[in-house]
Amino acid sequence: MGTIAVTPSAESVQMRGVGMERARTFRAYLRRNPTLIIGFILLLALIGIGVIGPFFVDTAQAQPATVPPDQHPSRAYPIGTDDQGRNLLAVVVVGLPLTMRMGFIAGTVGVGIGIILGFTAGYLGGIVDNVIRTTADILLTVPGLVVLIIIASTIKGSITVEQMALVVASLAWMWPTRTIRAQVLSLRERAYVQMAKMSGMKTPEIIFAELMPNLLPYLAASFVGSVGSAILASVGLEALGLGPQNAPTMGMTIYWFLSFNALIRGLWWWWITPIVLLALIFISLTLISVGLDEIANPRVRRAAR
């Protein structure tokens, strides 16, 4: 797989040039890495629901007591209504983006902290490294959900989607910190970093100009991973009843159908909707991160064959 696909004669490429050539290699690469594309398409489709949906569905019906309760899927309510009189289609249109935004915010904050701590620990070493690494390791062995439960139960009820994201983010930084630190440790000794150091570049400059670009695939992969685990954690908290009571997120939908025993009462359309959508979110994120992993870590390719 070392060589790039057959290049057309040099003259014909000349002007329209490098861009097209790159696009072609890029496409050839994507064909080899279909996991990434399928994941992206799936994710875009899910985002699309929240973007296009409001044009077709009355989003006010995502609130309780706006439509008749417990309706089977029909023409008026394509995926039915719940026990408290929400139109489930409206719930999806409003709630799915909320859930994804929550994961996105928490993932961004988590990776942001992870980048800062990971680079600090990996680059400075010594006591700083020891403290950061030990703290991250200790927190990793503690079940995150349990700690989040204490935090969330003290601000129970009045919590907003954004606060929820920040609560989840408070425990979303350990994995990024660990992986980034490990990568920085191995990059730090490379010749070009030593070269930069000798030529008098300052530490922040080295980090941003020399280290960061080489870590991009890793950063992307750990971002996707963090978003996934943030969504997982937030849905878990919501299912326990610690979520934003007034927001129709996917996790709150789970909480409501659990409280109202939708499963045993045979209201299948109510519980199947959030489950399928959440499963699709997680599958798309996993596919993307596997795909990114293949870019970052070519050794995986052998396993994929």
Partner 1 sequence: MRVSYLLKRIGLFFLVLWGAATLNFIIPRLSSADPIRERLSAMAVQSGYVQTGVEDMVRAYQQKFGLDQPLYMQYFRYLRDIFTFNFGYSLSLYPAKVLDLILNALPWTIGLLTVSTLIAFTLGTLFGALMAWPKAPKLVKSLASPFLTLSAIPHYLLGLILLYIFAFTLKKLPLYGGYPAGMVPNLSLSFIGTILQHSILPACSIVFVEMGFWALGMRSMMVTTEGEDYMLFAEARGLRSNFIFRNYALRNAMLPQYTSLALSIGRVVSGSLIVEIIFTYPGIGSLLYTAIKGSDYFVIYGVVFMVILTLGLATLVLDLVYPLLDPRIRYHQGA
- Contact status: 223 vs partner 1 (CB under 8 A): no
Among 98, 165, 184, 233, binds partner 1 (CB under 8 A): 233
Q: How far is the CB of 304 from partner 1 (least distance, A)?
A: 8
- Contact status: 180 vs partner 1 (CB under 8 A): no
- Contact status: 141 vs partner 1 (CB under 8 A): yes
Cβ pair 99, 249 in contact under 8 A? yes
Looking at beta carbons only, is 61 or 236 nearer to partner 1?
A: 236
Among 1, 6, 127, 150, binds partner 1 (CB under 8 A): 150
Q: How far is the CB of 220 from partner 1 (least distance, A)?
A: 18
Query: How many CB atoms lie under 10 A from the CB of residue 37?
Result: 14
Cβ pair 169, 109 in contact under 8 A? yes
Q: How far is the CB of 78 from partner 1 (least distance, A)?
A: 21
Among 49, 212, 240, 295, binds partner 1 (CB under 8 A): 240
Among 5, 25, 275, 298, binds partner 1 (CB under 8 A): 275
Rounded to the nearest 5°, which phi and psi values hold at 69?
A: -75, 160
Q: How far is the CB of 259 from partner 1 (least distance, A)?
A: 9
- Contact status: 282 vs partner 1 (CB under 8 A): yes
CA separation for the pair 201, 210 (Å, rounded): 10
Contact residues for 182 (Cβ-Cβ < 8 A; gap 6+): 122
Cβ pair 94, 249 in contact under 8 A? no
Among 151, 185, 212, 295, binds partner 1 (CB under 8 A): 151
Radius of gyration (C-alpha) of the chain in whole angstroms = 23
Q: How far is the CB of 104 from partner 1 (least distance, A)?
A: 18
Among 104, 173, 269, 271, binds partner 1 (CB under 8 A): 271
DSSP state of 210: I
Q: In the beta sheet, which residues pair with residue 81? A: 87
Binding residue count for partner 1, defined by CB under 8 A: 44
- Contact status: 73 vs partner 1 (CB under 8 A): no
- Contact status: 154 vs partner 1 (CB under 8 A): yes
Long-range contacts of 291-297 (CB under 8 A, 24+ apart): 291/33, 291/35, 291/36, 291/37, 291/39, 292/36, 292/217, 292/220, 292/221, 292/224, 293/221, 294/33, 294/35, 294/36, 295/33, 295/36, 295/217, 296/217, 296/218, 296/220, 296/221
What 3-state DSSP class applies to 42?
A: helix
- Contact region with partner 1 (CB under 8 A), list: 13-21, 47-55, 71-79, 147-155: 147-155
Looking at beta carbons only, is 23 or 275 nearer to partner 1?
A: 275
Rounded to the nearest 5°, which phi and psi values hold at 54?
A: -55, -20
Rounded to 10 deg, the angle between the 268-296 and 88-124 helix axes is 30
- Contact status: 191 vs partner 1 (CB under 8 A): no
Footprint of partner 1 on this chain (CB under 8 A)?
Answer: 134, 138, 140-147, 149-151, 153-156, 232-233, 235-236, 239-242, 258, 263-264, 266, 268, 271, 275, 278-279, 282-283, 285-287, 290, 299-300, 302-303
